[in-house]
């Protein structure tokens, strides 16, 4: 249970990193990545995954 970032769509703006309540997002190489061990999909913290809500480029989806 975790969200993930599609590197092709990520513009590396970092909006997701500062919104993540679980501190699961960090900058790696040229884009941001989500640590699946830390990601809770914001359950209990917000109505919807905050990274997905704030992402301007639709780069975030549930990890397969």
Partner 1 sequence: MSSQIVSLDSLMASPSRARGGCASSTSCGSSALPADIEPAVWEKIKDHPCYSEEAHHYFARMHVAVAPACNIQCNYCNRKYDCSNESRPGVVSERLTPDEALRKVVAVAAAVPELSVLGIAGPGDALANWKNTRATFEAVRKAIPDIKFCISTNGLALPDHVDEIADMAIDHVTITINAVDPEIGAKIYPWIFFDHKRRTGPEAATILLERQMRGLEMLTARSILVKVNSVMIPGINDDHLPEVNRAVRARGAFLHNIMPLISDPAHGTHFGLTGQRGPTPAELKTLQDRLDGGAKLMRHCRQCRADAIGLLGEDRGQDFTLEKLPETVAYDPAPRQAYRAFVAAERGDRDAARDDALRSVGAVADDVRVLVAVATKGGARVNEHFGHAREFQVFEAGPQGIVLVGHRKVDAYCMGGFGEDATLGPTIAALTGIDTVLCAKVGDCPREALLDAGITVTDAHAYDYIETAIGKVYAERFGRASAYA
- Shortest Å, Cβ 14 to partner 1: 5
5-64: contacts with partner 1 (CB under 8 A)? 11-15, 18-19, 46-48, 50, 53-54, 56-57
CA separation for the pair 56, 11 (Å, rounded): 9
- Shortest Å, Cβ 1 to partner 1: 20
Say how many C-beta atoms besides its own lie within 10 A of residue 1's C-beta.
Answer: 9
Which residues of this chain interact with partner 1, rule CB under 8 A? Answer: 11-15, 18-19, 46-48, 50, 53-54, 56-57
């Amino acid at each position: 249970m975790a969200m993930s970032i599609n590197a092709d769509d990520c513009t590396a703006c970092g909006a997701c990193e500062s919104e993540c309540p679980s501190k699961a997002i960090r900058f790696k190489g040229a884009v941001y990545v989500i640590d699946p061990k830390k990601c809770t999909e914001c359950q209990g913290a917000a109505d919807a995954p905050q990274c997905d809500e704030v992402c301007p480029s639709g780069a975030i989806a549930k990890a397969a």
